Chain A
Amino acid sequence: MNNALQGIVAKHEAERNLLSLLKEAQDKYGYLSEELVIELAESLDIPVGEVYGVGSFYSFLSTKPLGQNVIRICKSIPCYLKNYQTIVEAVEGELGIKPGGTTKDGKFSLELTNCIGACDQAPATMINDKLYVDLTPRKILDILKRL
Chain B
Amino acid sequence: MPEQRIVLRNCGVIDPKDISTYLNQGGFKALEKALAELSPEQVIEEIKKSGLLGRGGAGFPTGLKWQFASEASGEEKYVICNADEGEVGTFKDRYILERDPFSLVEAMAIAGYAIGAKKGYIYLRAEYHHLLDLLEGAIAQCGAKGFLARQGNFEFNIEIREGAGAYVCGEETALMDSIEGKRGEPRYRPPFPPSRGLWQKPTIINNVETLMNVPPIILEGADWFNRIGTERSKGTKVFSVSGDVRAPGTYELIMGSSLKELVEELALAEKVKMVQVGGASGRIIPYHLIDTPLAFEGVLGAGAIIVFNENRDVIDIVRRTVEFFAEESCGKCTPCREGTEVMLEILTRFWQGQGSKQDMEILEDVASAMMLSSLCGLGQAAPNAVVDTLQHYRSTYESRVQG
Q: Are A17 and B180 in contact (CB under 8 A)?
A: yes
Closest A residue to B180 by beta carbon equals A17
Interface residues on B, range: 35 or more
Would you call the interface of chain B mostly helix, strand, loop, or mixed? mixed
Q: How far is the CA of A131 from the CA of B244 in the complex (A)?
A: 22
Residue of B85, B129, B166, B248 near A120 (CB, 8 A) is: B248
Measured CB to CB, the residues of A under 8 A from B are 15-21, 23, 53-54, 57-61, 76-78, 80-81, 113-122, 126, 129-131
Query: Which interface residue of B243, B304, B321 has the most chain A CB atoms within 10 A?
Result: B243
Closest chain A residue to B243, Cβ basis: A81
Taken residue by residue from 311 to 322, chain B's Cβ proximity to chain A (1 for < 8 Å, 0 otherwise) reads as: 010000100110
A18 and B248 form a contact (CB under 8 A)? no
A18 near B182 with CB under 8 A, answer yes
Question: Which residue of chain B is the closest to A23 with respect to CB atoms?
Answer: B164
Contact assessment for B128 and A117 in the assembled complex, using a CB-CB cutoff below 8 Å? yes
Query: Can you offer 8 A-B residue contacts whose CB atoms are under 8 A?
Result: A23-B164, A57-B183, A58-B163, A78-B242, A115-B90, A117-B85, A119-B304, A129-B129
Whose C-beta in chain B lies nearest to the C-beta of A129? B129
B291 CB–A CB distance under 8 Å: no
The 8 closest A-B pairs by CB, nearest first: A17-B181, A59-B165, A58-B164, A119-B242, A60-B165, A78-B242, A19-B181, A120-B248
- Give bound CA distance, A54 to B167, whole Å: 15
Residue of A nearest to B248 (CB): A120
Q: A113 contacts B165, CB within 8 Å?
A: yes
Contacts of B126 in A (CB 8 A): 58, 60
CA distance A21 to B181 in the complex (A): 9
* Cβ–Cβ contact A77 & B280, under 8 A: yes
Chain A residues with Cβ below 8 Å from B128 are 117
| A59 contact set on B, CB distance < 8 A | 164-166
Residues in A neighbouring B330, C-beta threshold 8 A? 57
Interface contact B243-A115, CB-CB below 8 Å: no
Closest A residue to B129 by CB, please name it.
A129
